[in-house]
Amino acid sequence: MSTATYSTTQDSLKVALVGGGVVGLTCALGLLQKGVTVEIFEAAAQFGEIGAGIGVGPNAARVLRRLGVLDELCTQCKEPGLTMGEFLFYSAEGQNELLYSYPLTEGGLGNGLGAYRPAFLDTLVKYLPPSITHFHKRCTSIEPSTTNPSRNVLHFADGTSYEADVVIGADGIKSTARSTVTDNAKFLPVFSNTICFRGLIPMKEARAAGFTTEFNGRPLCFASKNRHLIVFSIEGDTIINVVAFAADYTKPIGTVSLPPDEPWVKVVSQEEMFKVFEGCSSEVMALLECIKEPSKWSIHVVHPHLESFVKGRVALIGDAAHGMLPHLGSGAGQGIEDAYILAQLLGHPQTNAGNIEGVLEAYDRWARPRAQMVWEGSLRAGKIYDGWGDGGLNPEGAAKDLGTQWAPVWFHDVDDNVRAAIDELKAGGYSPRGKCTSRVPERWISPSLAYSRIQRHDDMNKAT
């Protein structure tokens, strides 16, 4: 597939996007499809993602389908479609008792995709003109322009700069752009008291080592007190992605920090990993024994919640805005939703350089509450997997605690947010400070109603 070309319809609007990861490139693609000029500034020498698996939930998959890249992503991931179903939960100890089988949804609407991160990024790159990306551009600061007060200037470590109408920070958990949106030091990323060990294992190797549990198209969670493993297959069932978590729930998030010189990600010995999971079943240990050089991640999060994802003409998306624990597998999905909402609003025919602040405020009103809801849900999910739920690690307790925890994440149609934001902007005359008369819903629509609305929307897309 050759790189797509796009015509620009909003020549007066210049967008600078800081960060070239999955979320940033999704936003760039959405902007280009709406005719918005965008330049990507990436600190690295080339596009690249750490080689691990990433879950693409149904909500993120719908966005990717509407952007026209889902089929190509499935091809790159060697999958015929959305093949990853709902979770199976097992005990990580003894005979690996089945604790809970998450309810299957009608028509496969709960299906997602287990993707290889580099394959995901490579898919998006295929749809972007190479000329819009600038490598070796580590953003060091964002300041108001001295010559045009309606613009911002990005400064880079190499001494260069770039002026834009809108700056989008998609630069991850260690975001530089975040310090422009909030100068309060309390919003720096903090250690979550959670670590994980990651590894990719060839399926044949895992089977030879004695791992016998069948996937049947479903991801697995092996749960134990203060620790759990998330296990799913990628690359057409040829590779197993393993993420083995351990957490300390006796201290509040943000009260413990790593030593200043300790990296957040490092390769450690098998012995260190084995010590954390001592006492787990032979099934679990068979997997861990296949990870010869585990990478240890000290997971950091944005905590407390940001008071806003925007300030003036700067907006945050993805981990820069709401870096969260990965226990719902939805952090990337929320970043993709952010990217989509923001691109649709910036690409609306009535958006121009004069009303950007109002448009960004509408993005914040309709993206932030949902992302922060998922942040809280991810924290709660991890506690359940680690035996801190009300019901405990037994079939009855797991069923009660887990219920249908993914329903509000998977079956919310992000286009509802886009339509609501546009309606309120129109009602306010699309002015920079248009009054908001609507409210972001605190409760989400029922799964059954969501199924029908999403199915209707996708059927209409296929028909056109």
Query: 75 lies in a domain?
Result: yes
Query: 214 lies in a domain?
Result: yes
Instruction: Provide the domain count of the chain.
Output: 2
Q: Tell me, yes or no, whether 310 and 451 share the same domain.
A: yes
Query: 441 lies in a domain?
Result: yes
Query: 99 lies in a domain?
Result: no
Q: Tell me, yes or no, whether 318 and 200 share the same domain.
A: no
Q: Tell me, yes or no, whether 378 and 315 share the same domain.
A: yes
Per-residue burial over 375-391, b = 16 or more CB atoms within 10 Å of its CB, e = otherwise? bebbbbbbbbbbbbbee
Q: Tell me, yes or no, whether 40 and 141 share the same domain.
A: yes
Let me know: does 226 contact 246? Beta carbons within 8 Å. yes
Residues 296-344: tens digit of each pLDDT = 999 999 999 999 999 999 999 999 999 999 999 999 999 999 999 999 9
Let me know: does 240 contact 52? Beta carbons within 8 Å. no
Query: 413 lies in a domain?
Result: yes
Residues 362-410: tens digit of each pLDDT = 999 999 999 999 999 999 999 999 999 999 999 999 999 999 999 999 9
Q: Tell me, yes or no, whether 216 and 175 share the same domain.
A: no
Residue ending a domain, among 302, 319, 342, is: 302
Single-letter code of the amino acid located at 424: E
Helix (H, G, I), strand (E, B) or coil at 201: strand
Q: Tell me, yes or no, whether 32 and 164 share the same domain.
A: yes
Q: Tell me, yes or no, whether 313 and 429 share the same domain.
A: yes
Cis geometry, peptide bond prior to residue 441 (ω within 30 degrees of 0): no
pLDDT at residue 442, as a whole number: 37
Helix (H, G, I), strand (E, B) or coil at 138: coil
**Ranges of the chain whose pLDDT falls below 70:** 1-11, 51, 184-186, 430-464
pLDDT at residue 188, as a whole number: 81
Q: For the domain that residue 221 is a member of, what is the CATH number?
A: 3.30.9.30
Q: Tell me, yes or no, whether 63 and 158 share the same domain.
A: yes
In 8-138, where do the E strands start and end?
A: 10-18, 36-41, 53-56, 88-91, 98-101, 113-116, 133-134
Query: 106 lies in a domain?
Result: no
- CA pair distance 166, 115, nearest whole angstrom: 31
Burial class (CB in 10 A: 0-12, 13-18, 19+), 272: exposed
Residue ending a domain, among 246, 279, 302, is: 302
- CA pair distance 319, 99, nearest whole angstrom: 31
pLDDT at residue 434, as a whole number: 38
Helix then strand count (H, E) for the chain reads 15, 19
Query: 358 lies in a domain?
Result: yes
Q: Tell me, yes or no, whether 179 and 326 share the same domain.
A: yes
- CA pair distance 265, 290, nearest whole angstrom: 20
Q: Tell me, yes or no, whether 307 and 354 share the same domain.
A: yes
Q: Tell me, yes or no, whether 172 and 211 share the same domain.
A: no
Residue ending a domain, among 237, 270, 302, is: 302
Let me know: does 52 contact 241? Beta carbons within 8 Å. yes
pLDDT at residue 221, as a whole number: 98
Query: 66 lies in a domain?
Result: yes
Q: Tell me, yes or no, whether 244 and 353 share the same domain.
A: no
- Quote the domain boundaries for residue 277: 189-302
